[in-house]
Amino acid sequence: EAGVAQSPRYKIIEKRQSVAFWCNPISGHATLYWYQQILGQGPKLLIQFQNNGVVDDSQLPKDRFSAERLKGVDSTLKIQPAKLEDSAVYLCASSTSNYGYTFGSGTRLTVV
Amino acid sequence: RKEVEQDPGPFNVPEGATVAFNCTYSNSASQSFFWYRQDCRKEPKLLMSVYSSGNEDGRFTAQLNRASQYISLLIRDSKLSDSATYLCVVNQGGKLIFGQGTELSVKP
């Protein structure tokens, strides 16, 4: 089975610029998550989708972050404008149940 | 108070040592519990689920105490390849809440 695909692997941008990340979950996985992992910390949930609907976005900084999953399959996460503190690894995960989570390899963002 | 708290690391142990990781969680309504392993610059991967009855997978033993809201992971006869960050994870309503992780370094 193919895993969760994410792109790009790395991105370096200047503060105040915009950036977008893409995730393609495992086929058939209805639930998709975006996590932010700052160096030295555990992953923090930003947003959870069930098919194309948002289940939880309580920790998404909505003034600068947005995410969509229009057709209930792949998803994009956007940051506009980026701040220095947004430097982190952005992990996408998908699941069919409360137990079967699979993470992608992540996008490492550096904001300079 | 953090939702999931782990022992601060890093743990530096010799090969063959037994090492224990501890974790507490704040939400008593949490439904299921896991340990994940994360290698340097890699994504987290499921190591094992944790059950109240305790469960074992080879050299790894996990334990859950719901009354104390406490989770543990024991690694026996540690190997160089066990060096990684171990993340305590709690499922709350279908979303995974991660602890900050405890780094383990196993030395020859």
Residue B37 has pLDDT above 90, yes or no: yes
Tens of pLDDT along B48-101?
A: 999 888 899 999 999 999 999 999 999 999 999 999 999 999 998 888 999 999
Tens of pLDDT along B4-25?
A: 999 988 999 999 999 999 999 9
Contact A108, A20 (CB under 8 A): no
**Hey, of B95, B98, B100, B103, which one would you mutate to test binding to chain A, going by the most A CBs within 10 A of its CB?**
B95
Q: Which residues of chain A have pLDDT under 70?
A: 1, 97-99
Question: B53 to each of A78, B50, B59, B62, B104, how far by Cα in Å?
Answer: 43, 9, 17, 9, 26
Stated as kind and residue range, the H or E segment containing A11 is strand A10-13
Nearest-CB residue to B100 (from A42, A55, A56): A42
Nearest-CB residue to B87 (from A42, A48, A101): A42
Residues of A in Cβ contact (< 8 Å) with B94 = 31, 48, 55, 98
Nearest-CB residue to B95 (from A41, A45, A105): A45
Q: What is the distance in angstroms between the Cα of B82 and the nearest Cα belonging to chain A?
A: 18
How buried is residue B81: exposed, middle or buried, by Cβ count under 10 Å (0-12/13-18/19+)?
A: exposed
Q: What is the pLDDT of residue A101?
A: 86
Q: What is the pLDDT of residue A99?
A: 58
For the segment B30-41, the average pLDDT, to the nearest whole number, is: 94
Asked if the C-beta of B99 comes within 8 angstroms of chain A's C-beta atoms, the answer is yes
